[in-house]
Amino acid sequence: MAQNTAFIIAGAGLAGAKAAETLRAEGFDGPVLLLGDEHERPYERPPLSKGYLLGTDEREKTYVHPPQWYAEHDVDLRLGNAVTALDPAGHEVTLADGSRLGYAKLLLATGSTPRRLPVPGADLDGVHTLRRLADSDRLKDLFRSASRIVVIGGGWIGLETTAAARAAGVEVTVLESAPLPLLGVLGREVAQVFADLHTEHGVALRCDTQVTEITGTNGAVDGVRLADGTRIAADAVIVGVGITPNAETAAAAGLKVDNGVVVDERLCSSHPDVYAAGDVANAYHPLLGKHLRVEHWANALHQPKTAARAMLGGEAGYDRLPYFFTDQYDLGMEYTGHVEPGGYDRVVFRGDTGAREFIAFWLSGGRVLAGMNVNVWGVTDPIRALVASGRSVDPERLADTDVPLADLVP
């Protein structure tokens, strides 16, 4: 079969693997090439900061498919040889080894890269980020040997690694530039819940801080210096200050890029034969009426199914509401919906916030924009329906646990 009938997937993570799976499930029998820069077969990332890092999940549980799946489904999985250049007009990609491959359709599932901290000492031994399986392995070893670490960044990765470190008995200081961890994501009312959670578990939480230097001795980390001159001693530093979409090759190829590869609701880019899914995709969301780049597992899981069907010429559109989850200590939560920072006028709590068994709803003009269930389960469907309805709800009934959530859905 001619090479230009191939469907190439650039990026062999969860999104890439799910796209390949969908292509085969939808009956595509042409060549499927799944190309990645890592030497691990596709795996999921949530366990890296949750169960696998805690030691409660086995390594095998992180992988998307068993090793034999790719050969059994005639998926040409090539690891350690990433796509480094695109030629959309010529329908060709260039790989890290210099070879070129033609394609009929191309999916960019290249993911993202942790941001580096732009301060002196950021390259010292003992400065860690968490994005790959190897990173999680290093942190597991670190938690067995270190007595005190500093986590820079109070986002989801920072707080989940903090919880894992505390479970291993490591002293942890969290440094956050905002007044509260997760403030931009959750707002003050709910962010305080997570601040209190970590403080109660012995974390030294320092907010409104600016890191000016990571200090070291003989090339290895020994502490962190703050803008006020304070120095915090540390055996290691974990940096979790966000991620950047891996869209450089797309931009160099002339595709429209703006905070990721810009795609429509079918996940098609500015070139009709190039698609994008997962962290790298800034996708138009028809329900929300805006482009949105979502850096969470659910997008990497579900978007590729839409992209693959669109690549095959079928009816496809991605309108699934953003969803993410976290597990920290004895707190588990799920979040459904989307709220821009400061984009709400009221938070309604339903349940017992003191016991951390509640649902929080973010409202604007009486309309539910998002809901987060904390240690309350089986409620994501009515929360999703409330958000998707776009209708106003009575805040008093929303807060009343005697009123079933399903009764509030128009």
What is the helix, strand, coil percentage profile of the chain, to 5?
30, 30, 40
Predicted local distance difference test score (pLDDT) of residue 409: 87
SS3 85: strand
The contacts of residue 34 (CB under 8 Å, 6+ apart) are: 9, 12, 16, 17, 20, 42, 70, 75, 76, 77, 78
Per-residue pLDDT of the chain (410 residues; tens, 9 = 90+): 344 899 999 999 999 999 999 999 999 999 999 999 999 999 999 999 999 999 999 999 999 999 999 999 999 999 999 999 999 999 999 999 999 999 999 999 999 999 999 999 999 999 999 999 999 999 999 999 999 999 999 999 999 999 999 999 999 999 999 999 999 999 999 999 999 999 999 999 999 999 999 999 999 999 999 999 999 999 999 999 999 999 999 999 999 999 999 999 999 999 999 999 999 999 999 999 999 999 999 999 999 999 999 999 999 999 999 999 999 999 999 999 999 998 999 999 999 999 999 999 999 999 999 999 999 999 999 999 999 999 999 999 999 999 999 999 87
Predicted local distance difference test score (pLDDT) of residue 2: 41
The contacts of residue 379 (CB under 8 Å, 6+ apart) are: 359, 371, 373, 405
Q: Which residue has the tokens 């703050």?
A: 226
Q: What is the DSSP string of 273-322?
A: TEEE-GGGEEEEETTTTEEE---SHHHHHHHHHHHHHHHTT------PPP
Backbone φ and ψ of 383, nearest 5°: -65, -45
Predicted local distance difference test score (pLDDT) of residue 1: 33
Predicted local distance difference test score (pLDDT) of residue 4: 81
pTM of this structure? 0.95
Nearest to 13 by CA among 63, 87, 57, 48: 63
Backbone φ and ψ of 62, nearest 5°: -80, -20
